[in-house]
Structure 1
Amino acid sequence: MADTEVARRRRVGGGPLSAFLVLLAAAFLVAAGLRLLGIDGNRYMVAVTALTPYTAAAGVLLGCVALLLRRWAAGTLVLLVAIVLVAAVAPRAFPDSRPNGVGTEVRVMSVNMLLGQADAADVVAAVRANQVDVLTLQELTPEAVAELDRAGLRNMLPSQVFEPRPGPAGSGIASRYGLTAKTLTSPGSMRQPGALVDLPGDRDIEVVAVHTMPPVLTAGPEAWQRELAGLPNRDLGGAPRVLAGDFNATLDHVGLRRLLGNGYVDAADEVGAGLEPTWPSGKLWPPPVTIDHVLVDNRCPVDTYGVIAIGGTDHRAVVTQFVVPTR
């Protein structure tokens, strides 16, 4: 009996602290379960899944604290699940081995223009500094097209397939090489133009300017899910494909993971920058996440990737270089 009383005294905080830790553990296990079981669900679940890297870190901390406070069952369970979650997230911080590839080097950049308000001079300066070959733009308005022209974009990237619209629906592709417009996606709420890029080597590429509906709108994530599902898979019998833009999805969402399972690689993940956030730029709330991506046909080895702050928009631009191999 005395030993039992001593053990009870050693359990710091007693029942109230145990109840609080159990509540935190339950919240963590629900969030982790959404990711590990592949449940996007409603808009709140989608938002929770977007925070998976934070959830993994919080789970490790919570599990360790629970064990230190001698809540063995809760601590052990939380820590084990957290380790599984970390194993799913941590590889994004480490570069993958680069396969050999000889061919044409291509640099692709993507910018969400935030209703056309992004600083056109910043965009053009980034294109020039990074020697961009192909640029995809989201939330491209007619006024933004005029601003980009005045800033000199057409002089550097003269071939353009633009579908500007007022508000967030417009998108476009600009290239230093010739473009031929192609319909590569299913119809959606946003414009998502596609194009065949006439590269100087013996192999061309197809590019889609991706912009799916945000999944956290009050209408729910159904449109977002349909639009992610409507993005084209890799075409082994055709030109290598590149999907670049604002997916409104992280690497933890089912729709994006499905694309990666169909022959694409995420450029950021390939070089160990998969945890580099792209939205919201320069803010700590909501917690920054990675929703802008360049998905590259896995036949094309990825060399570099980076994010760039652009004035006037809440998205950071993403830029990557990869090699389109010869036939």
Structure 2
Amino acid sequence: MLKTVGAVIAAVIATAVTVLLGVAILPGLFGLEQTQIIVQLSAFRLLLAILAAGAALLAVVVGVLLRGSRRVLPFVLASALAVVSVTGAVVTASRGVDDRVVAGEATDLADQVTVLAWNTLGDAVDPGTIAAIAVREGADVVSLPETSAAAASAVAAAMTASGRPMVAHSTASDAHGTSLLVSTGLGEYAVRAPSPTGSTAIEDSETLIADPVLGRGPTLVAVHTTAPLPSRLDDWRAELADLAGRCVAGTDVIMAGDFNATLDHLAGLRGDGDLGDCDDAAAADAAAGLGTWPTELPAVLGAPIDHVMASPTWVSVSAHVLTDVDGTGSDHRPVVATLLPRTPR
């Protein structure tokens, strides 16, 4: 009797794990991309695929050891897990895992804008290092979540001294805030004040929004959403929905930073683009399968939660995740994208 009960419990657990892995591999297919547990698991698709492959092999071994009709379930689960594993690998590959770092790969067109986004883990990266990488990449816009006003000013000064004049803006003086550096070549920008009718979800976060003073140029959004922890999941959902609402037809916006969300988490917020009508630059350049967090994992196994996104008024010329700066202090990898207006300005 106890053997039978144990076998039933084991079968139920094995089936539940298989279903969970399948949903986490393709959460948007089931409309569960922003559901607790699935949110955390789905961010690491390739790791799940490897886990599913290992579980499939274990199920085959169990099936071989069993006799009679009891062999059926292990072999069925092994087949299902194999499908889950292959699907996870195929989706990751289709998103792109190109980690090539090609300095200056974009063309020298006057209207192009190169954007760099890097969560610096509370000023953990030396400002000189940030400036050197931003200059190397030819950045015109630098989004720095978890970067203090003092550190941002130091980066701007170093970039200016290197021949790329920048102006720094910050949401807070301490390292919990978000900073935005804008090239003087893009014109003067001012940080947007909260809405007169009350701050919105994204305005209550550490996200910084800056508008061109003379009204010419894109609105720049240095993104840092709330992490999708169990106690903050509603805030996270509201902030992502707020961002999607700012990416609609007729807007001119560039968003960059730590979204704390993969493209899968945004499936229910898609319009004509990956987030509302905004397109993810890495997805357009076959690099959206590379993880930007944490740096302790190889990029191909990490979670791609940092993005550069732009409204339909922009087209991505190039984009890549910088995998050559691991170990400089942050647990995030920078994302760089070069954008070009669809129509001359």
Whether the TM-score (by the shorter chain) exceeds 0.5 is yes
Give the Cα–Cα distance (whole angstroms) in 1 for the partners of residues 51 and 228 of structure 2. Answer: 24
Identify the match of residue 242 of structure 1 among 226, 229, 254. Answer: 254
Give the Cα–Cα distance (whole angstroms) in 2 for the partners of residues 16 and 175 of structure 1. Answer: 65
Q: What is the deviation of 1:84?
A: 4.7
Q: Is the 8 A contact 2:97 2:286 kept in 1?
A: yes
Q: Is the 8 A contact 2:152 2:168 kept in 1?
A: no
Deviates more, 1:160-169 or 1:252-261: 252-261
Identify the match of residue 292 of structure 2 among 271, 278, 281. Answer: 278
Q: Does 1:209 align with 2:203?
A: no
Q: Where does 1:62-81 land on structure 2 (aligned, <5 Å)?
A: 62-63=55-56, 66=59, 69=63, 71-81=74-84
Q: Does 1:169 align with 2:185?
A: no
Q: What is the root-mean-square deviation in Å for CA atoms of aligned residues?
A: 3.6
Unaligned segments of structure 1, at least 5 residues:
1-14, 96-101
Residue equivalent to 2:69? none
Identify the match of residue 297 of structure 1 among 288, 305, 311. Answer: 311
Larger strand proportion of the pair: 1
Residue equivalent to 1:10? none
Q: Structure 1 residues 31 and 38 mapped into 2: Cα distance closer, same or farther (>3 Å)? A: farther
Q: Where does 1:92-107 land on structure 2 (aligned, <5 Å)?
A: 92-93=95-96, 104-107=111-114
Residue equivalent to 1:178? 187
Q: Does 1:158 align with 2:171?
A: no
Identify the match of residue 270 of structure 2 among 258, 264, 267. Answer: 258
Q: Is the 8 A contact 2:114 2:139 kept in 1?
A: yes
Identify the match of residue 138 of structure 1 among 137, 145, 149. Answer: 145
Q: What is the deviation of 1:103?
A: 8.0
What is the SS of the residue equivalent to 1:90? helix
Q: Is the 8 A contact 1:193 1:209 kept in 2?
A: yes
Letter in 2 for 1:320: A
Q: Structure 1 residues 160 and 148 mapped into 2: Cα distance closer, same or farther (>3 Å)? A: closer
Q: Is the 8 A contact 2:18 2:77 kept in 1?
A: no
What is the SS of the residue equivalent to 2:19? helix
Q: Structure 1 residues 27 and 256 mapped into 2: Cα distance closer, same or farther (>3 Å)? A: same
Q: Identity of paired residues, percent? A: 24
Q: For residues 180-220 of structure 1, what are the alpha-carbon distances to aligned partners after superposition, in whole Å with 9 as ceiling and x for unaligned?
A: 33649644443322234599xxx73222100001112x523
In the comparison of the two structures, how many residue pairs are matched? 301
Letter in 1 for 2:190: A
Unaligned segments of structure 2, at least 5 residues:
65-73, 99-108, 195-199
Q: Is the 8 A contact 1:247 1:293 kept in 2?
A: yes
Identify the match of residue 40 of structure 2 among 34, 47, 58. Answer: 47
Q: Is the 8 A contact 1:249 1:256 kept in 2?
A: no
Q: Is the 8 A contact 1:161 1:179 kept in 2?
A: no
Q: Is the 8 A contact 2:157 2:166 kept in 1?
A: no
Residue equivalent to 1:6? none
Question: Could you tell me the TM-score, scaled by structure 1's length?
Answer: 0.77
Q: Is the 8 A contact 1:189 1:213 kept in 2?
A: no
Q: Structure 1 residues 210 and 246 mapped into 2: Cα distance closer, same or farther (>3 Å)? A: same
Give the Cα–Cα distance (whole angstroms) in 1 for the partners of residues 156 and 114 of structure 2. Answer: 21
Question: Could you tell me the TM-score, scaled by structure 2's length?
Answer: 0.73
Identify the match of residue 117 of structure 1 among 124, 143, 161. Answer: 124
Give the Cα–Cα distance (whole angstroms) in 2 for the partners of residues 19 and 31 of structure 1. Answer: 18
Q: For residues 225-251 of structure 1, what are the alpha-carbon distances to aligned partners after superposition, in whole Å with 9 as ceiling and x for unaligned?
A: 111111143242242x21100011112
Letter in 2 for 1:175: S
Residue equivalent to 1:8? none
Residue equivalent to 1:192? 207
Residue equivalent to 1:4? none
Q: What is the deviation of 1:107?
A: 0.7
Q: Is the 8 A contact 1:93 1:275 kept in 2?
A: yes
Q: Is the 8 A contact 1:229 1:255 kept in 2?
A: no
Q: Structure 1 residues 284 and 133 mapped into 2: Cα distance closer, same or farther (>3 Å)? A: closer
What is the SS of the residue equivalent to 2:112? strand
Identify the match of residue 281 of structure 2 among 244, 247, 267. Answer: 267
Give the Cα–Cα distance (whole angstroms) in 1 for the partners of residues 153 and 339 of structure 2. Answer: 30
Q: Is the 8 A contact 2:149 2:170 kept in 1?
A: no
Residue equivalent to 1:99? none
Q: What is the deviation of 1:167?
A: 3.8
